[in-house]
Homo-oligomer: A and B are copies of this chain.
Amino acid sequence: MNIGAIAKHIGGELSGDQGLEITGMANLAEALPGEIAFFRDAKYTRQLERTRASAVLVPTDWAGVCPAQAIIKVADPSAAFMKVGELFAPPPVVRDPGIHPSAIIDASVTLGAGVHIGPYTVIEAGATIGDHCVIEAQVLIGQHVTMGAGCHIYPQVTVREGSLLGNRVILHTGVRIGSDGYGYNPKIGADGNITIEKIPQIGIVELGDDVEVGSNTTIDRARFGRTKIGNSVKIDNLVQIGHNVQVGDYSGIIAQAGIAGSAIIGSGCIIWSQAGVSGHLKIGDRAQLGPASGLAKDIPEGEFYLGLPAGPRRELAASMLLPRTVDKLKKRVAELEAKIKEL
């Protein structure tokens, strides 16, 4: 793409050769010849002066030194850079309404208007798919699943029987909705033999409106009743949500976090990456659990817990100062010992 087209797209003022070919985007420090970068903040002046980028977006009032062949002045270089991103993006994928002939859809399925069903997707008996849903290739929708309008199910997702999805739900590749929760009763028979009896998992999963779930995340069906994810909850990749968990509206759960069975998470909460919540705990509204933290007690409303085991953030700060505190104590004790000796 030539720099002239880029300048035009973002409505910037170009100095340099209109025909200069730009092959990609990068930040100032890492750009290679052929790439475009942006400069906004004076603290990166040194990076700007040494950049290998062929073109740089700068603020309208910028006056300085830059080795790039082309400079584009714009009001907001950061926003303009995002707009440049559109030009380098792969062409947007459009999924037109229509059902691929290889999709296997049970005769009892109710399909809304304008749905797209991709190749090798299977939709089982009794399912209901809302208007304008996009269900991509190689998806499995189980028996009696109900899906609202405008959902987008990416390839190779499984939604097991009885799950309820609201409107505009997005499930990314490899998401598993409605697998059996983990529950067993170990038994020792009269003969001394151990058997580990599986506890039936006969509940369902319910996802609210505008829920988005990242790739390869798993949300287990309830032991009975339902595992319930509220409206506008946004879940990242590789998250585990156990049976009978409840998550309130607008909460976020970041990558690789795990929520054990029957935990109740309020609304507007954030569970940061790789954090773990033990079973049956309660997290109040607008509370947060920090990254890699392990929760073993409830979090009150609005609090930020952190650590392993997790406690209020301010307490953790104290415990992190402990080595220094002990060092100081050691000196004071040594001084005392010296004084005592002198007496």
Contact = CB atoms under 8 A, between A and B. Distances in A.
A121 B15 CA distance: 48
Interface in A126-169: 126, 136-138, 140, 142-144, 154-156, 158, 160-162
Interface stretch (A3-11, A40-48, A255-263): A255-263
Nearest to A321: B323
Please list the 8 inter-chain residue pairs (A to B) with the smallest Cβ-Cβ separation, ordered nearest first: A85-B224, A90-B162, A89-B202, A292-B294, A176-B215, A179-B215, A158-B173, A140-B155
Contact of A258 (B155, B274, B329): B274
B140 A225 contact: no
A40 to B, nearest CB: 15
A174 interface: yes
Interface in A171-193: 172-174, 176, 179-180, 182, 184, 186
A232 B194 contact: yes
Contacts of A77: none
Given A122-B119, A260-B273, A142 B238 contact: no
Given A156-B158, A172-B179, 10 more contacts: A90-B161, A104-B119, A194-B250, A240-B255, A255-B260, A256-B276, A319-B323, A325-B326, A332-B337, A336-B336
A93 B237 contact: no
A220 interface: yes
B323 A329 contact: no
A93 B142 contact: yes
A260 B320 CA distance: 24
Nearest to A81: B224
Nearest to A140: B155
Given A90-B143, A337-B336, A196 B323 contact: no
Nearest to A210: B196
A235 to B, nearest CB: 9
B326 A93 contact: no
A255 to B, nearest CB: 4
A25 B333 contact: no
Interface centre among A84, A196, A223 (most CB of B within 10 A): A196
Contact of A173 (B137, B154, B179): B179
A240 to B, nearest CB: 4
A1 interface: no
A138 B119 contact: no
Contacts of A194: 232, 250
10 contacts: A89-B202, A93-B161, A120-B120, A172-B176, A179-B237, A186-B250, A216-B218, A220-B237, A318-B323, A329-B329
Contacts of A276: 256, 273-274, 291-292
B326 A85 contact: no
A202 B81 CA distance: 13
B90 A184 contact: no
A214 interface: yes
Contacts of A214: 179-180, 182, 218
